[in-house]
């Protein structure tokens, strides 16, 4: 296994496990820290259910083989979630570390996205059966 592949799986694991799966399940469980956190940011508690479901689905999507376009959406959702978290903490005057942690996690997720193998990217996805194939442009 080469260094790029190892870096991809390490960053993907660091994105999927704490952000998507653990964070998503904690949100779905409406644990006391999650409820207090979301309320302190001024959001309704039901938002935990929505974010939790999306996070778990994103984590499953990133680990599953194939579905490159769905993976793009999962990475985008993670970016929206983490930038929203950083901005929300900044908006209510939370300490700087509460703003920085989501941005560090975003950097890890972006690294995972940038290192993903070609079979996990949209550009390299095989054409659908029956889809027209573009002719090469003349030289």
Summarize pLDDT for 66-95 with one digit per residue, the tens. 899 999 999 999 999 999 999 999 999 999
pTM above 0.85, yes or no: no
**In whole angstroms, how far apart are CA 23 and each of 26, 61, 73, 76?**
5, 15, 18, 17
Give me the residue label for tokens 């799986």.
9
Q: Which residues of 3-40 are buried (b: 16+ CB within 10 A; e: fewer)?
A: eeeeebeebbeebbeebbbebbebbbeeeeebeebbee
Distance CA 62, CA 50 (A): 18
Summarize pLDDT for 112-129 with one digit per residue, the tens. 999 998 888 886 545 566
> Dihedral of CA 50/51/52/56: which sign?
positive
98 neighbors 90 (Cβ within 8 angstroms)? no
């Amino acid at each position: 296994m080469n260094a790029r592949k190892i870096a991809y799986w390490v960053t993907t694991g660091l994105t999927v496990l704490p952000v998507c799966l653990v964070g998503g399940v904690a949100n779905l469980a409406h644990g006391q820290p999650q409820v207090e956190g979301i309320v302190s940011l001024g959001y309704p508690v039901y938002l935990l259910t929505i974010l939790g479901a999306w996070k778990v689905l994103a984590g499953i999507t990133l680990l599953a083989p194939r579905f490159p376009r769905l993976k793009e959406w999962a990475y985008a959702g993670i970016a929206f979630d983490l930038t929203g978290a950083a901005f929300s903490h900044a908006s209510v005057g939370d300490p700087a570390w509460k703003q920085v942690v989501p941005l560090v996690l975003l950097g890890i997720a972006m690294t995972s996205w940038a290192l993903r193998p070609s079979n996990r990217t949209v550009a390299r996805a095989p054409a659908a059966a029956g889809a027209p194939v573009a002719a090469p442009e003349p030289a």
